[in-house]
Structure 1
Amino acid sequence: MTQLFISFATLFLLEGSCAGQTLYGVMLDAGSSSTKLRVYSWTERSSSSDILTVTENYYQRITPSLSSLQDDLELLKKYVQNLTSIAELHVPFQSQHETNIFLLATAGIRFLEEEKAKDIMDTVEDVLSNKTMHNFKYSERSVRILSGEEEGVFAWITANYRNGTFSSNEPNSKAVGVLEMGGGSTQITFIPDGPLLAHMFSLRIAGRIYDLYSHSYLNFGKDYMDRRIKDSIIKTNTKALSYNHPCLLLNDVSYYKYLGETKKFSGSSSPSECLSIISNFLRQDSGDDCYPKPCAIGSIYQPAVGADIFFATASFAAVATDLNATDASGRLDIDKLNKTAHTYCRKTKQEAGAVYKVFLESGSSTCMMALYMAELLTFSYRFPLHTTRIFPLQQYNGESLDWPLGAMVYEAELMADDYPCSPIGASAGEPQRPVPWLKDHLNKSLQYHSDPSNISVPSNSVTPGLRLPPIHPSGPRKGFPMTTTQQIGWRSSQRECQLERYGRYGPGPQSRGKYGILKMLNWPQEGSP
């Protein structure tokens, strides 16, 4: 028998728009140092299997950041109102009431204390959900803190949208993986060649299903790796006030607050010692601690990177450019990066600035990052040393590779009337299968479960006697556990309608995989697929 599964994506339906109508979306990227406001537009498709043509109509970077206003929530309200006022200037008035607005926060909010982060997001939600303060359309997805994995997936969508993957007749032949290096975290996202055992993120773009591997390593971004190295050095002698720092260039000095004390670091310029500290953070678990296998960092599962091309963005691209570590075709040469790093890291700040394309104030950061990148790519992600498949890029054909475009494409796809549950069993790039649960059938099925006497439904289409709680899409839902893609639902015997399998497998309360989510929903594990 077929059991009913209802996803948030199924319930998040828009009334059908006329093909050819121009639609708009407002995306607020709430980062650690600013909020980036973007207004997008696209033409309504005649079919959801068509490619969306999304245009960025407006961009503005607004300072300060949300997190800097954590202690003045009244000022934060005015800040958010100002954002909506600016956005309204760039969306036609007649379209504003049908234009969705999103504020998606990243590492700047993720690193705050839970209570502070909640206060900020509640304040933002109070403004954006208040129709007297702006004209845009608000939904339950409008305000949220992105997981690092979502950020990685959205960057993957952006890269493949720019690359033309979604308009190709053979999507897998053009799909590119994405490596990101931000200040707080680093992400890797790609379509594996073989089985995917954990960290799956399924999405539909233009009628095709893509099963991605995506993982974000919090505290492994550029800024946080710098802090972790300093903490590691201090722990060798916590009472000292000055230390030699092997990752700093000769003659460079840095100061750092540690438990209320100011610590001084002087560059000893020793790349081998610096790499030793970095390698300690990247070591892999072995035996039963690594499950499922293989593991990349610690006990985090990662399938083989396969034969895909990868775009390496943000700090990956900046460091590769600074040290001229690419070949004539723009490919990253990891061996050259590693050798150049060992030479570069023995120089003084002044020598480094004279020979390489680096600013004096960031010279030591480039040393640490070059060593870190080479080790991360080869030891952790298991790219061959002489791979020619990584392209460090800040832009593609002059267009940004930032994640907000991918987020907008993803949200626009969710708005399609026929968006189904995510087919977990589908192969990457597989054409969308027919969905038996149409909108009208879904409504009737819900009526059936509320009062079976009201409607006649074929006995083989819904499990007899199954009682589902009432659903009110327009109001708040309480008590429904949500997956990372904001889905809720009941277990289904159809593979394409099973709950998203995401995160770590294995026992224990921290497991976020199949059995972890069954435990959250209080379902029997012995019947799980």
Structure 2
Amino acid sequence: MIDAGSSGSRVHVYRFKICHDEPQLEHEEFKMIEPGLSSYKDDPQAAAESLDSLMAVAVDSVPKDQQRCTPIAVKATAGLRLLQPHQSEGILEAVRRHLETRYPFPMAGERAVEIMDGKDEGVYAWITVNYLLGKLTTAQRGRSAAVFDLGGRSTQIVFEPTFRTKETMLEGEHKYQLDYGNENYELYQHSYLGYGLNEANKRIKEELVIMWNQEAQRTGRVYHPCLPEGRSETIEFSFANGTQKVELIGTGAGHAECRAIVERIFNKDKLCKLDPCAFDGMYQPSLSDTFEARDLYVFSYFYDYTQPLGMPSEFSVGELGELTQRVCNGETKPFRHVPQAIDALARNADFCLNLSYIYDLLRFAYEIPSDRLIKTVKKIRGVETGWCLGASIAMLDQVQLCQID
């Protein structure tokens, strides 16, 4: 399974034992490269050839006599979704042709190389986490964990809500009926395109230009509370009469001032057609009311911005806010015990801005209480989290597997 993400591509080579009702994962090989396929928007063949180092891992990992019976799929996510249709289609066609002509693995059906629907991305991640936790068994029914994924271009939430009364989940695209094993799961899911960390970073920086539109256009600069004091960065902004460069000058104002800007991009005041809503006018059952005392797992950028600073694998949303406040205050003393932490803060001038977004996404946008514990992981039982394992398990049901002589 190749994950063609917005910032890079990753290969996962899984070995399963399928003698039981539920596939038993025996081994995983993993490798990541940068940049992602979307970086080659004007050169589809170069995009296809960029996967060669990942395919070398697949060729080396799968015994030669089993390669013709080992299906392969390439699933692209938010990076390709945001390209022009002719650009993304050209890349996908080149990738499929390259894999079919250069490598021995059979394509996993007609949709083996595609842009994955955002709802599938989230649900497959939910399957991955709960499969690895052993929650997808009859004995564990009703104990599934929620998953929150934060990529570069989009963010997903998936959970199995439990309603106390006769209330049920409202109908809509957010409702996902999953048949897994001998059980049916009614999941809530939503993928927020444009709310991944990289896209949010850009929007937060532009928000000050929007607020001070006339002044920014006249002087060519604005002051930004989410950037360190003295930090200068130039962005291009499309004003009504054309594109112009604007200098952002950091004030280092602190976490509260930065949050005031971050919160604006969530559109909490947008019309909520189905109540209750989380943010951007999207219906979501309340996590506090319909998902009590069960685990919340966050990964990808959630992990990347907390673990280098010494946070444990489980912490409260409030503790995440405290961490963010220390970073935005420019403190380094609390992180001296963590190898490379101070260097990481020094290298990334956006640490305060990005942590503020991560915290606000959980506390303000999803309205998770400050005392609620969350867990962040990169691996469970030695296996990468994310959607790839879940998609691969689904592939076992959807693809006709051949028999090895």
Tell me the TM-score normalized by structure 2. 0.83
User: What secondary structure, in the 3-state scheme, does the structure 2 residue paired with 1:89 have?
Assistant: helix
Q: Does 1:214 align with 2:189?
A: yes
In the TM superposition, residue 176 of structure 1 has moved relative to its aligned partner by 0.7
Cα 1:239–1:125, aligned 2, differ >3 Å: closer, same or farther? farther
Could you tell me how far apart the structure 1 residues matched to 2:336 and 2:248 are? 23
Which residue is 1:147 aligned to?
Answer: 117
Aligned partner letter, 1:304 = S
Alignment of 1:400-415 (within 5 A): 400-415=384-399
Cα 1:332–1:364, aligned 2, differ >3 Å: closer, same or farther? farther
Which residue is 1:137 aligned to?
Answer: 106
Q: Is the 8 A contact 1:205 1:413 kept in 2?
A: no
Which residue is 1:21 aligned to?
Answer: none
Instruction: Indicate which of 32, 38, 49 corresponds to 2:12.
Output: 38
In the TM superposition, residue 184 of structure 1 has moved relative to its aligned partner by 1.4
Higher helix share: 2
Q: Does 1:337 align with 2:323?
A: no
Q: Is the 8 A contact 2:234 2:247 kept in 1?
A: yes
Cα 1:32–1:190, aligned 2, differ >3 Å: closer, same or farther? same
Which residue is 2:169 aligned to?
Answer: 196
In the TM superposition, residue 225 of structure 1 has moved relative to its aligned partner by 1.2
Could you tell me how far apart the structure 2 residues matched to 1:234 and 1:191 are? 40
Q: Is the 8 A contact 1:81 1:127 kept in 2?
A: no
User: What secondary structure, in the 3-state scheme, does the structure 2 residue paired with 1:136 have?
Assistant: coil
Cα 1:212–1:78, aligned 2, differ >3 Å: closer, same or farther? same
User: What secondary structure, in the 3-state scheme, does the structure 2 residue paired with 1:33 have?
Assistant: coil
User: What secondary structure, in the 3-state scheme, does the structure 1 residue paired with 2:273 have?
Assistant: coil
Which residue is 1:186 aligned to?
Answer: 155
CA-to-aligned-CA distance 1:291-338 (integer Å, 9 cap, x gap) = 221001121011122112111112222333355565xxx432222332
Instruction: Indicate which of 55, 60, 77 corresponds to 2:31.
Output: 60
Bigger mean CA offset, 104-113 vs 331-340: 331-340
Cα 1:113–1:125, aligned 2, differ >3 Å: closer, same or farther? same
Could you tell me how far apart the structure 2 residues matched to 1:293 and 1:185 are? 23
Q: Is the 8 A contact 2:157 2:191 kept in 1?
A: yes
Aligned partner letter, 1:283 = N
Could you tell me how far apart the structure 2 residues matched to 1:296 and 1:322 are? 29
User: What secondary structure, in the 3-state scheme, does the structure 1 residue paired with 2:315 have?
Assistant: coil
Percent of aligned positions with the same letter in both sequences?
28
Cα 1:250–1:185, aligned 2, differ >3 Å: closer, same or farther? same
Which residue is 1:276 aligned to?
Answer: 260
Q: Is the 8 A contact 1:81 1:133 kept in 2?
A: no
Which residue is 1:295 aligned to?
Answer: 277
Which residue is 1:446 aligned to?
Answer: none
Instruction: Indicate which of 225, 228, 232 corresponds to 1:249.
Output: 228
Which residue is 1:230 aligned to?
Answer: 205
Cα 1:246–1:87, aligned 2, differ >3 Å: closer, same or farther? same
CA-to-aligned-CA distance 1:252-280 (integer Å, 9 cap, x gap) = 33332335644332221123332111111
Could you tell me how far apart the structure 1 residues matched to 2:325 and 2:54 are? 46
Q: Is the 8 A contact 1:201 1:213 kept in 2?
A: yes
Could you tell me how far apart the structure 1 residues matched to 2:150 and 2:304 are? 10
Could you tell me how far apart the structure 1 residues matched to 2:137 and 2:236 are? 51
Could you tell me how far apart the structure 1 residues matched to 2:295 and 2:396 are? 26
Could you tell me how far apart the structure 2 residues matched to 1:212 and 1:234 are? 39
Could you tell me how far apart the structure 2 residues matched to 1:361 and 1:185 are? 26
In the TM superposition, residue 104 of structure 1 has moved relative to its aligned partner by 0.6
Q: Is the 8 A contact 1:249 1:364 kept in 2?
A: yes
Q: Is the 8 A contact 1:245 1:268 kept in 2?
A: yes
Cα 1:38–1:363, aligned 2, differ >3 Å: closer, same or farther? closer
Structure (1 or 2) with the larger CA radius of gyration: 1
In the TM superposition, residue 377 of structure 1 has moved relative to its aligned partner by 1.8
Instruction: Indicate which of 347, 353, 365 corresponds to 1:368.
Output: 353
Tell me the TM-score normalized by structure 1. 0.65
Which residue is 1:421 aligned to?
Answer: none
Instruction: Indicate which of 360, 383, 387 corresponds to 1:399.
Output: 383
Structure 2: where are the runs of 5+ without partners? none
Cα 1:362–1:405, aligned 2, differ >3 Å: closer, same or farther? farther
Which residue is 2:68 aligned to?
Answer: 97
Higher strand share: 2
Which residue is 2:369 aligned to?
Answer: 384
Alignment of 1:157-172 (within 5 A): 157-167=127-137, 169-172=139-142
Q: Is the 8 A contact 2:6 2:36 kept in 1?
A: yes
Structure 1: where are the runs of 5+ without partners? 1-26, 418-529
